[in-house]
A and B are shown apart, each in its own frame.
Chain A
């Protein structure tokens, strides 16, 4: 825990499930917090959890002398508040995705470029200790060159509130892919060090979302009785990087199968398997964003390393990483608070990386609507628009 003693003033725009997940961790830092949401019951919950001041319009947070602003609004509404904050020199932590569209994400990036202040993106998956250890091994060259990553995030019944903004193309910018698949995209892109991509291919489907007989098992998400559902609930993705490395990604909000959240890393020398399934299922019925008690990561996060050796005889070695567990959300907050006022871009989850991930999301959706792979050249078309 850091920043003990320096009392920062932190705004929290958006007090829905995501915002409240941050709010639950606020007490672990000695800062002053102000929350904003148009919804009065959300404001009441924030007051209950944090005891801080509240205001209705997130825009009004900028009238306080903020040091940092956390933006946990629906993606379509990130841009107006993020750009206003950056223009007034306030560092921001933006919940993923950066925005509902690539254009909107780029405008936030531009505002960050023109400001002294910095923007960080809430890809908290990278703040699990096992993810961080894995990336350390990759950077250290332990696997040789990474040639392929097989990634999957499949929930059994994980549709986030049908009939809320989560299932609206207009507000969320997409469905399962942009909501949970984006964590996996960010992690695999980090494994490839955000190196250039040759092409992406994607297919998106809607199997459960618009069905009336979807069984609301194991979920506490809010389900409104409306027909607001025009996004995909599953996606299959293939990516080829310019260095020849590949990625297979499968994402689903709901499947008639077991839950999975797993990454298999294939290297020229060694391999690894990161399994975060238990992080979600251990809190089934609750979100990953709920507070995780500190425990050994072997209980919840599995990181295995695969080697082949010829010491004595030729044999395989499967080893398991053991480390003290962490609360990824708290670590992300801590990194954000630490960087406030530093005027140097965030190393982890910078806005630049966030926008690169958003470029890939955009290309996957374009590929899915065209029915063919999309080359990276087309990223530049959008870039210049």
Chain B
């Protein structure tokens, strides 16, 4: 079914489901909303939205707080499951925690899905200073973590991702051309380490190591991100890469043995 052309796939989709999911997304973006607020931004009529919200309330995906509709924690259960089913998640989590403790910098374990970079797990001492959260999804070309993954995918796969998701600029340092991106991925492959300096967020630089299975298949990447003034050149270029390499190997070994544990 994955091979179905977009138009054919669209023909088989259910509009109502799409409306429900759009409502959920909108409630996240707006940090809660009233029916009237939703009706101003979304195209379905107020009464249609009302029916959808009623269903979502009924199913427990939405709750009412102080007169506003907000997302419930039920999506956390789905999200928690979606995280845990990823190979390497548990060890990724342990290693992110350990690195965050050792470096006092924000650390993340990132995987690629559907051509996007998903932040599967992260740890930071000063949470409010970090622009991401678990589940945060962004383009793959604009962070060290994403580029570390792209560098381990086939050229064909990367071309497909670029064609589907584009190469938008987030800052004036973001890579925006395919040639530049392929050069960058080549250099990441040769050093087996990826860097970005203010390519996604101004003032934030990251270093990432790809995490591969024993068979060389890419699982994701582990990265340390830091505000530029909070990190020395030596930490960024030597200390952190060495620590990340250690963690990436440990996650890889653990991932190989994950299925030995009871279901």
Contacts and interface: CB of A to CB of B under 8 A. Distances in A.
Given A59-B259, A77-B260, A170-B254, A226 B214 contact: no
A43 to B, nearest CB: 13
A73 B94 CA distance: 21
A285 interface: no
Given A170-B254, A227-B242, A80 B260 contact: yes
A377 B82 CA distance: 44
A38 B214 contact: yes
Contacts of B91: 170
| Max count, chain A CB within 10 A of own CB: residue among B94, B214, B249, B259 | B249
B245 A57 contact: no
B235 interface: no
A107 B257 CA distance: 19
Nearest to A165: B253
B246 A80 contact: no
A131 B24 CA distance: 70
Interface in B239-263: 242, 245-246, 249-250, 253-254, 256-257, 259-262
B260 A168 contact: no
A227 B249 CA distance: 8
B93 to A, nearest CB: 13
Nearest to A228: B249
A73 B256 CA distance: 12
Interface string B135-159: 0000000000000000000000000
Interface string B84-112: 00000001001100000000000000000
Contact of B214 (A39, A80, A230): A39
Contact of A168 (B214, B249, B262): B249
A81 interface: yes
Contacts of A228: 245-246, 249-250
Contacts of A163: 249
A229 B250 CA distance: 10
Contacts of A58: 260
Nearest to B94: A170
Interface of B: 91, 94-95, 214, 242, 245-246, 249-250, 253-254, 256-257, 259-262
A183 to B, nearest CB: 24
A230 B246 contact: yes
Contacts of B245: 226-228
Interface string A31-67: 0000000110000000000000000011100000000
Interface string A67-87: 000000110110011001000
A17 B80 CA distance: 38
A291 interface: no
Contacts of A77: 257, 260
A57 B250 CA distance: 19
B149 to A, nearest CB: 18
Interface in A160-182: 163, 165, 168, 170-171
B253 A226 contact: no
Nearest first, the 5 A-B pairs at minimum CB distance are: A228-B249, A227-B245, A170-B250, A77-B257, A80-B261
Contact of A171 (B253, B259, B261, B262): B253
Nearest to B242: A227
Contacts of B256: 38
Interface residues of A, number: 22
Interface in A127-174: 163, 165, 168, 170-171
A170 B214 CA distance: 17
Given A39-B214, A226-B245, A230-B246, A84 B262 contact: yes
B241 to A, nearest CB: 8
Nearest to A87: B262
Contacts of B246: 168, 227-230
Given A227-B242, A228-B246, A80 B253 contact: no
B113 to A, nearest CB: 24
B251 to A, nearest CB: 9
Contacts of A229: 246
Contacts of A171: 250, 253-254
Contact of A38 (B250, B257, B261, B262): B257
Interface string A224-235: 001111100000
Given A80-B262, A84-B262, A227-B242, A74 B249 contact: no
Interface in A81-96: 81, 84
A163 B253 CA distance: 11
A58 B262 CA distance: 11
Contacts of A76: 254, 257
Given A170-B254, A171-B254, A81 B260 contact: yes
A59 B260 contact: yes
A57 B253 contact: no
Given A80-B262, A165-B253, A227-B246, 16 more contacts: A73-B260, A74-B257, A76-B254, A77-B257, A80-B261, A163-B249, A168-B246, A168-B249, A168-B250, A168-B253, A170-B94, A170-B250, A226-B245, A227-B245, A227-B249, A228-B250
A230 B261 CA distance: 25
A69 to B, nearest CB: 13
Contacts of A73: 257, 260
B258 to A, nearest CB: 10
A227 B259 CA distance: 25
Contact of B259 (A57, A74, A170, A226): A57
A47 B214 CA distance: 21
B218 to A, nearest CB: 16
Contacts of A170: 91, 94-95, 250, 254
26 contacts: A38-B214, A38-B256, A38-B257, A39-B214, A57-B260, A59-B260, A59-B262, A73-B260, A74-B257, A77-B257, A77-B260, A80-B262, A163-B249, A168-B246, A168-B253, A170-B91, A170-B94, A170-B254, A171-B254, A227-B245, A227-B246, A227-B249, A228-B246, A228-B249, A228-B250, A229-B246
